[in-house]
């Protein structure tokens, strides 16, 4: 799952998967903007068949946090 999340981020942001580590911040380190964040969240919801409330989505800024969220809510 972690590698799949990294690949989705890399593809969406047009960056190398090697530039993404478990604690890379999507916005501060990887260059995502708010629209990227929404698009990525929607992709994660579709891919992993989850629903993320808006108040929780703002906390999902790293691969590690997304993996943990999916594992806890799947």
The catalytic site residues sit at: 33
Cα 14 to Cα 3, 8, 33: the distances in Å are 16, 10, 13
Cα 28 to Cα 8, 10, 34, 60, 65: the distances in Å are 18, 15, 11, 13, 15
């Amino acid at each position: 799952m972690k590698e799949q999340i990294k690949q989705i981020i890399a593809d969406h942001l047009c960056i190398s998967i090697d530039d993404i580590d478990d604690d890379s911040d999507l916005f501060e380190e990887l260059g995502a903007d708010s629209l990227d964040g929404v698009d990525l969240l929607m992709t994660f919801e579709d891919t992993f068949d989850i629903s993320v409330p808006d108040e929780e989505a703002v906390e999902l800024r790293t691969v590690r946090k997304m993996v943990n969220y999916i594992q806890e809510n799947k």
